[in-house]
DNA sequence: AGTTAACGGTTGATTTTGTAACTAACAAGG
DNA sequence: CCTTGTTAGTTACAAAATCAACCGTTAACT
């Protein structure tokens, strides 16, 4: 091109990370979509509630860095599908605590199992040492220090 | 939760990759958006044409794994902004070859410089050895063998 | 040639996201 | 109390992504 063109898009970290994220998540996405008709935002909310138990939308937002509108909509859908219930805080009536229903817990446990196996499969392509380092670096890049 | 819950969402590779991709790309995204009003699909098309020179939408699709409708629309926008021109193949009149205009090249060169500096900044957080390994693993996960 | 299938690319309808503005509730200072 | 500001969450509207159907063209088979 116009000057010596030693730029390689395939090495550009944001691009590479995106491609890896997309490709590596595809098959898992297919599962929660097919099995429960969920969106990514929805399974993320589900996972947060499954892992940490009862919490507010705000708490989820802080941990996941998802925008509050996404969470609001995901919660609405999960509620419509009877996967969670809301409960207003008596002391501060702006707050709503979210809890998984039995159906929600069942979905969480199911998907958690899938995720674990899936992750094991991905990680299995590398040595334990390498995968540990990868996770460490990714956490660093993600700002999850 | 219901059983021993040793699942950590923060270690789940597709999730972690997504967070890292999102976070690491944010500031760069801001630049091509502010400076040229571009979308991610648009700068990707721009970069492909800048790096490889004249090519068809289909070629871009194969290399970038973007869906053809995204590419079609990105090309239309770049054309409207006079960043590229189309040229029909005389032999196979379904094909269109895309070429950057001067303005397109200038934008590419500008953004390529930004990307390089940006990437250097990201990579600088790690040792050369680690960053090489990271890229290798990401390429592997992305299926870009 | 004539039919059918496949391909490159575009378009339109629907879904999902992003951005702002909005409620309703609380908090702090006067 | 009463303003002003902030917070948790929702909603409305615009921007963008997805999906399927589409057009014109080429290829393949008969």
Instruction: Provide the pLDDT for residue B27.
Output: 94
Instruction: Provide the pLDDT for residue B4.
Output: 58
- The SS3 call for residue A87 is strand
Instruction: Provide the pLDDT for residue B144.
Output: 86
The gap from C-alpha A2 to its chain's centroid, in whole angstroms, comes to 42
In Å, what is the separation between the CA of A139 and the C1' of C26?
36
Mean pLDDT score, A128-139: 97
Alpha-carbon span B21 to A16, nearest angstrom: 8
DSSP string, A119-139: HHHHHTTS-HHHHHHHHHHHH
- The SS3 call for residue A7 is coil
Query: Please, what sign has the CA dihedral across residues A70, A72, A76, A82?
Result: positive
Q: How far is A78 from chain B (nearest CA, A)?
A: 19
Choose from B141, B143, B144, B145 for mutation: most chain A CBs within 10 A: B141
Mean pLDDT score, A100-128: 97
pLDDT for A13-23, tens place per residue? 999 999 999 99
CB B50 within 8 A of CB B112: yes
pLDDT along chain B (145 residues), means of 10: 73 96 95 95 97 96 94 97 96 96 97 96 97 97 89
Please report, rounded to a whole number, the percentage of residues in chain B having pLDDT higher than 90.
Answer: 94
**Residue A72 pLDDT more than 70?**
yes
Cβ of residue A73 lies below 7 Å from strand C = yes
Enumerate the residues of chain B whose CB falls inside 8 A of the CB of residue A132.
none
Instruction: Provide the pLDDT for residue A3.
Output: 53
Residue of chain B with shortest Cα separation from A113: B7
Please report, rounded to a whole number, the percentage of residues in chain A having pLDDT higher than 90.
Answer: 94
Instruction: Provide the pLDDT for residue A67.
Output: 95
Alpha-carbon span A63 to A5, nearest angstrom: 41
**Confidence band of A6 (pLDDT split at 50, 70, 90):** confident
Tell which wins on pLDDT, A4 or A31. Answer: A31
3-state SS string over chain B? CCCCCCCCHHHCHHHHHHHHHHHHHHHHHHHHHHHHCCCHHHHHHHHHHHHHCCEEHHHHHHHHCCCHHHHHHHHHHHHHCCCEEEEECCCCCCCEEEEECHHHHHHHHHHHHHHHHHHHHHHCCCCHHHHHHHHHHHHHHCCCC
Instruction: Provide the pLDDT for residue B111.
Output: 97
Bases of strand D lying below 7 A from some protein CB:
7-12, 16-20, 24-27
CA distances from A85 to A49, A64, A72, B2 (A): 11, 20, 13, 17
Q: How far is B142 from chain A (nearest CA, A)?
A: 4
Alpha-carbon span A56 to A98, nearest angstrom: 6
**Confidence band of A24 (pLDDT split at 50, 70, 90):** very high
- The SS3 call for residue A10 is helix
**Residue A145 pLDDT more than 80?**
no
Q: Assign a CATH topology to domain B25-141.
A: Arc Repressor Mutant, subunit A (1.10.10)
Q: Is B138–A19 a contact, with Cβ atoms under 8 angstroms apart?
A: yes
- Domain boundary assignment for chain B: 25-141
Q: Is A1–B53 a contact, with Cβ atoms under 8 angstroms apart?
A: yes
Instruction: Provide the pLDDT for residue B3.
Output: 53
**Residue A5 pLDDT more than 80?**
no
Q: How far is A48 from chain B (nearest CA, A)?
A: 8
Enumerate the residues of chain B whose CB falls inside 8 A of the CB of residue A25.
14, 17-18
């Amino acid at each position: 091109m116009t000057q010596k063109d030693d730029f390689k898009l395939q090495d550009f970290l944001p691009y590479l990370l995106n491609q890896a994220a997309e490709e590596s998540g595809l098959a898992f996405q297919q599962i929660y979509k097919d099995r429960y008709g969920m969106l990514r935002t929805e399974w993320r909310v589900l996972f947060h509630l499954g892992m940490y138990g009862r919490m507010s939308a705000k708490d989820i937002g802080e941990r996941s860095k998802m925008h509050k509108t996404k969470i609001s909509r995901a919660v609405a859908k999960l509620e419509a599908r009877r996967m969670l219930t809301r409960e207003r805080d008596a002391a501060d009536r702006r707050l709503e605590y979210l809890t998984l229903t039995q159906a929600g817990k069942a979905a969480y446990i199911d998907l958690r199992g899938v995720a674990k196996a899936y992750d094991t499969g991905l990680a299995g392509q590398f040595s334990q040492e390498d995968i540990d380092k990868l996770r460490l670096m990714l956490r660093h890049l993600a700002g999850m220090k």
